[in-house]
Amino acid sequence: MLTGILKLIASGIEFFLGIPFVGGVFILSSGWGALLFMLLFYIAILILSIYFGHAKWGAITGIAVSILAFIPFLGMVLHWIAFFVLLIDGIQNVKYAKAEN
């Protein structure tokens, strides 16, 4: 359940970062710190996903996006892709956790 919730939170953040102009201004105003934070956040999610035996593809996608998102326009599209991937992965993790209980 924890990994699912974290992936859904990450999905919401990716949605914000993918908003044209707004996300870019936020990332630039943070001195690229937002991307570094997200990279570390995705590494933590990946470690938890491995530990709990859940799907890793959402976290791996997030790591790749965090590394490549500094490229204008490509970064925006990658944030959109990460939003959908993490949303699907997070929902599946939550459903899996509820089915176990």
C-alpha dist (Å) from residue 95 to 3, 57, 77, 98, 101: 11, 16, 27, 5, 10
**This prediction's pTM:** 0.93
Single-letter amino acid, residue 5 = I
Q: How far apart are CA 79 and CA 95, in angstroms?
A: 24
Using one digit for the tens of pLDDT, what is the confidence trace for 16-43? 999 999 999 999 999 999 999 999 999 9
What's the structural domain count of the chain? 1
Question: For residue 31, what are the domain limits?
Answer: 2-100
Contact 45, 10 (CB under 8 A): yes
pLDDT at 29: 97
